[in-house]
Amino acid sequence: MGFLSQLSIMPLLFVAMVFCQHEDYDFEDEYDPEPDEQPSLFHINPSVDYEVSHFSGPLRCAKECFCLTAFPLSMYCDHRKLKMIPAIPIHIQQLYLQYNNIEAVSSQSFANVTILREINLSHNKINSYMIDYGVFAKLGNLVQLHLQHNELEEFPFPLPNSLEQLLLGFNKISRLPANALQGLVNVTMLDLCNNNLDDSDFKGKQLSNMKNLMQINLCNNRLQNMPPDLPSSLMYLSLENNSISYIPENYFNKLPNITALRLSNNNLQEVPYKVFNLSNLVELNLGHNKLKQTFYIPRSLQHLYIEDNDIEIVNITLMCPFIDPVNTNQLTYIRMDQNKLTAPISTYAFFCFPHIRIIYYGEQKGTVSQSTQLRTPVFQRFLTPDEYEEARNEHEVEYEHEEDVVEREEDYIYLH
């Protein structure tokens, strides 16, 4: 449930992000599991003698680690330069081993601890061939496994079907065994960013069997195509920094719940006109591609990033072919700096997108000379729904002569 409640605050994060105007934030930060069962929030203070915290001798806590009376099911062994996994008392459910020098995961370490629910082995030196076969699969209660920032070359296989969050970012994974994902029906979040995966790793892998998958992160890999066969539960798809040049027209037909789509830093030159017509899409990031044209904007979309593309004209009629006054477009933010725009956006934009707050133009690239410097880098507009209605009505009558309209036009981006 922690994950779901975090999703519900996504719009807030988006807003914060819009105003920061930087985009490469970390999914891990956003989706860090909430410490709803046991706190993992406190910091280890090296000046404190945690030996005192050992409340009932070594059987209750490994000597290299510390345990707290208040959280008897957790064992904290992070940041200790450990080379081996310490002995794990059988009652432990949360095991924190991040930031050590652990190279191997032996089945002996986990022999008697089948009630483990969470293992954090991130930031260690684990190689795929140093993980005993089936060591994790035996942990039938494991829901979270953190293995990011290690030296894995292969997807760890097999894994227990109980898993819900699997973090494998920042490894060197280039192999996904044929049945690696089979049975992982409870996984909601799979992070594989920053690995060496290519299209062949996903052929015939039946990602669609992961029926609860809400988020998949595949950024910074070597994909040239959109991953096939994603499950229809998916809400959050991250594909930044790959080499994708093409999106099939009906690619999202089976993904109605997509809420955020990140495809920045790919090789897209064009996209099918209606490909993003998804009724739940809120964030769309297509920055740093080679797009020449805009496309249909779905009603739900709030944030659009199309900076650093080759767009010469923002054709609002294409983005918004008709206005539905009852179900207005939700777009509030467009970032479109580093394109090849030479003309101001049509005023029609503000009727199509009545909630628009910021159109970020920044600088345009290409043959633009000094004299065509943009007058205002950021266009901002704040209209209440009532003001919008008023403006709309005025537009129908005598829009051209309205004083505030003239003022607003001052804020436009003119090229001379």
Ligand X SMILES: *[C@@H]1O[C@H](CO)[C@@H](O)[C@H](O)[C@H]1NC(C)=O
Positions touching ligand X (CB under 6 A) are: 24, 32-33, 40, 96, 98, 108, 111-112, 120, 122-123, 146, 148, 161-162, 186, 219-220, 232-233, 240-241, 257, 265, 274, 277, 279, 296, 313, 315, 317-318
Closest CB to ligand X among 237 and 357?
A: 237
Smallest gap from Cβ 205 to ligand X, in A, equals 19
Instruction: Enter the tokens of residue 164.
Output: 């819900």
Smallest gap from Cβ 232 to ligand X, in A, equals 4
Instruction: Enter the tokens of residue 200.
Output: 């062949």
Closest CB to ligand X among 2 and 177?
A: 2
**Rounded to an integer, what distance in angstroms lies between the CA atom of residue 303 and that of residue 133?**
45
Smallest gap from Cβ 371 to ligand X, in A, equals 23
- Burial class of residue 208, CB neighbours in 10 A (0-12, 13-18, 19+): middle
Closest CB to ligand X among 345 and 391?
A: 345
Q: Exposure string (b/e) for 6-15, b if CB count within 10 Å is 16 or more?
A: ebeebeeebe
Q: Is 404 helix (H, G, I), strand (E, B) or coil?
A: helix
**Rounded to an integer, what distance in angstroms lies between the CA atom of residue 138 and that of residue 17?**
41
Closest CB to ligand X among 62 and 357?
A: 62
Smallest gap from Cβ 295 to ligand X, in A, equals 10
Instruction: Report how far apart, in Å, the C-alpha atoms of 260 and of each of 108, 248, 291 are.
Output: 42, 18, 19
Closest CB to ligand X among 233 and 394?
A: 233
Q: Return the closest-CA partner of residue 27 out of 247, 220, 280.
A: 220
**Rounded to an integer, what distance in angstroms lies between the CA atom of residue 385 and that of residue 393?**
12
Smallest gap from Cβ 389 to ligand X, in A, equals 25
Smallest gap from Cβ 352 to ligand X, in A, equals 13
**Rounded to an integer, what distance in angstroms lies between the CA atom of residue 15 and that of residue 9?**
10
**For the CA atoms of the chain, what is the radius of gyration?**
25
**Rounded to an integer, what distance in angstroms lies between the CA atom of residue 78 and that of residue 162?**
24
Q: Is 15 helix (H, G, I), strand (E, B) or coil?
A: helix
Closest CB to ligand X among 92 and 357?
A: 92
Query: If you count DSSP H runs as helices and E runs as strands, how many of each does the chain have, helices first?
Result: 7, 15
Closest CB to ligand X among 108 and 376?
A: 108
Closest CB to ligand X among 59 and 385?
A: 59
Smallest gap from Cβ 393 to ligand X, in A, equals 26
- Burial class of residue 219, CB neighbours in 10 A (0-12, 13-18, 19+): buried
Smallest gap from Cβ 115 to ligand X, in A, equals 13
